[in-house]
């Protein structure tokens, strides 16, 4: 394993453990990925963030062709859509974090930017947050509706499902996900 890959891999594992240990994810419901040397490393299907290991990543190219035997998370097409959107995107995190899910039920005034700015930090760290209409997880219908709205926002709430946040690296994506979850919590508590 090269040094750069080893360092990113260790940070990704730390992020997974940190999210799990603070109840931001539970069970095997979350997935994350990062880009290194043109390859995509994504948590394997059924992995649990609480006990994630550096060997729990499936590897694929940008077209989704597998480069290892491990089966990737079934949400991998959403990750690939984001990596193809911009070469500046180096990591993607998807969870089912509670307040982000709660806020996804709330009627959106603007589906391209559905989380209100009660603090300046969401715009600074994440940008706009699009609301993706509900489709069953892991289906081509969900991947298509996500692809259709990919260019309209910076991060996304999958309705009745959870947040998708990307960043230039894994820590950047992690900070963005944390900010989105806290912003949704504030919005939920302030709702009228």
Which entry of 99, 117, 118, 121 is annotated as an active-site residue? 121
60 bridge partner residues: 40, 66
- 130 φ/ψ angles, rounded to the nearest 5 degrees: -85, 150
Residue 83 bears catalytic tag: no
Residue 75 bears catalytic tag: yes
What does the DSSP 8-state code read for residue 91? E
Query: Using an 8 Å Cβ cutoff, are 32 and 8 in contact?
Result: no
Q: Starting from the edge strand earliest in sequence, which strands make up the sheet with 129-132, in order?
A: 57-60, 39-43, 31-36, 91-94, 162-167, 155-158, 129-132
| Non-local CB neighbours of 163 within 8 Å, separated by 6+ positions | 94, 95, 97, 100, 129, 155, 156, 157, 177, 180, 181, 184
Which entry of 75, 135, 178, 179 is annotated as an active-site residue? 75
Closest CA to 174 of 87, 113, 71, 93: 93
Catalytic residues: 75, 121
């Amino acid at each position: 394993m090269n040094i750069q890959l080893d360092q990113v891999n260790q940070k990704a594992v730390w992020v997974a453990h940190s999210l799990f240990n603070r109840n931001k994810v539970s069970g095997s419901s979350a997935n994350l990925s990062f880009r290194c040397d043109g390859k995509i490393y994504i948590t394997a299907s059924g992995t649990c963030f609480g006990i994630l290991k550096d060997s729990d990543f499936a590897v694929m190219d940008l077209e989704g062709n597998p480069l290892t035997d491990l089966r990737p998370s079934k949400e991998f097409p959403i990750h690939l859509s984001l990596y193809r959107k911009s070469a500046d995107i180096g990591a993607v995190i998807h969870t089912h974090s509670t307040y982000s899910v709660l806020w996804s039920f709330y009627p959106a005034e603007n589906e391209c930017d559905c989380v209100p700015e009660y603090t300046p930090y969401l715009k600074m760290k994440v940008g706009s947050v699009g609301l993706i209409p509900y489709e069953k997880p892991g289906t081509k219908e969900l991947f298509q509706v996500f692809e259709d709205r990919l260019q309209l926002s910076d991060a996304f709430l999958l309705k009745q499902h959870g947040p998708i946040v990307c960043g230039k690296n894994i820590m950047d994506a992690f900070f963005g996900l944390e900010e989105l979850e806290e912003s949704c919590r504030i919005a939920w508590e302030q709702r009228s």
